[in-house]
Structure 1
């Protein structure tokens, strides 16, 4: 299978069991999920249903107990940590509820840093372009503590998309924001994902946000409860 024909993400009968003081806990139970190129998929379900764990497994940050994870056609089970990191680099980005900006770096430096690690040309210039795209052209030299929560998440979004990844994982990206900032970040995220052509896997409790995706995958107790495409008006 080659990158040209492979779906960005395929999960086949994926399970995840983690140890606890009370004994093993089944987090994911035989999940089958497929995400096509450019497709926007929302993961919804109650707290503890396994949504964030699914992202961790799908991105190769956590090894599943059973089943297969194919990222761009590559079976992650056959890759060590370094090779998984190389597979993700420049092709997979993540945005979290917590902004995870480096506090000693400016907004511009936060966006440029992963580009420099990937040895992308003109990293600083690209960072400025993407900060302008998220409405922060005047805040490039500001440090995270000088930015509002909404501004910090927009920096995180610019950082995630500046490499033009093929797949973006977003784990409750509006969860720490007030209603106005949440709406603004959501609008930017969907617009920029559509523009770059990236596939999106979005964890959210917001049904209105989930309704903007092409499909909603519902989890309950680590199992697939529903997988439904959006009905166009």
Structure 2
């Protein structure tokens, strides 16, 4: 059972499993994962490919429903919510950044950052988008479309979009995985700087040991389990 202190934290997972069907039969992806993330804490999720890291992010963010166990975001049991309820809970409190930037190709950088704010009916969405693009060093790229931006610039737009609503929890799944060393370092610097400024907690999947070392701690996964640091 969760006590009151744990129940108030941004993220808690207790004995979470995830089993998915395949042509060869059911596959156990997560096998009894427990994880606690404190307010403002930065946690790196590391481990070999296929160990369940991205699936952990999907379940923790409510994008995938676990087979068993309990996931709580800000004290709310995700198992008690439908898809719309999970989306409503994430809105303004949870953001995600992925390895593939997932920018809308027919929107400019400014429009990509402003669109979620407009959907959430935030005032001054355009001005907020411009401010955040300036914070990630892209004030000269406001009207550029994704195909006109480098990979590093696209990920900076994605980071600005994720943090513009100042969420309390940021999930980042291999945020530097598609970038060369120089751009990866620049994006990592920005991510940690802006997370610190906003006070958001960070749960980050990465293969980059140097990036993981910048987190407060690492949760090491192997064969669908957290074997260290949960």
Fold in common (TM above 0.5): yes
Please list, as runs of the form range in 1=range in 2, the aligned pairs for 1:151-162 lying within 5 A after superposition.
151-162=153-164
* TM-score (structure 2 length as normaliser): 0.97
Task: Count residues with an aligned counterpart.
Answer: 228
The structure 2 residue matched to 1:42, chosen from 41, 44, 51, is 44
Equivalent residue number for residue 21 of structure 1: 23
Alignment gaps of 5+ in structure 1: 229-233
The structure 2 residue matched to 1:220, chosen from 198, 222, 226, is 222
Structure 2 residue matching 1:129: 3-state secondary structure: helix
Structure 1 residue matching 2:112: 3-state secondary structure: helix
CA deviation after TM superposition for structure 1 residue 224, in Å: 1.1
Equivalent residue number for residue 78 of structure 2: 76
Structure 1 residue matching 2:129: 3-state secondary structure: helix
Structure 1 residue matching 2:229: 3-state secondary structure: strand
CA deviation after TM superposition for structure 1 residue 104, in Å: 0.2
Equivalent residue number for residue 184 of structure 1: 186
Distance 1:113 1:60 in 2: 21
Equivalent residue number for residue 177 of structure 2: 175
CA deviation after TM superposition for structure 1 residue 2, in Å: 8.4
The structure 1 residue matched to 2:211, chosen from 196, 209, 222, is 209
After superposition, give the CA deviation of every residue in 1:20-66 in whole Å (9 maximum; x if it has no partner): 01110000000110000000000000000000000000000000001
* TM-score (structure 1 length as normaliser): 0.96
CA deviation after TM superposition for structure 1 residue 113, in Å: 0.2
Equivalent residue number for residue 116 of structure 1: 118
Equivalent residue number for residue 231 of structure 1: none
Q: Do residues 197 (structure 1) and 199 (structure 2) align?
A: yes
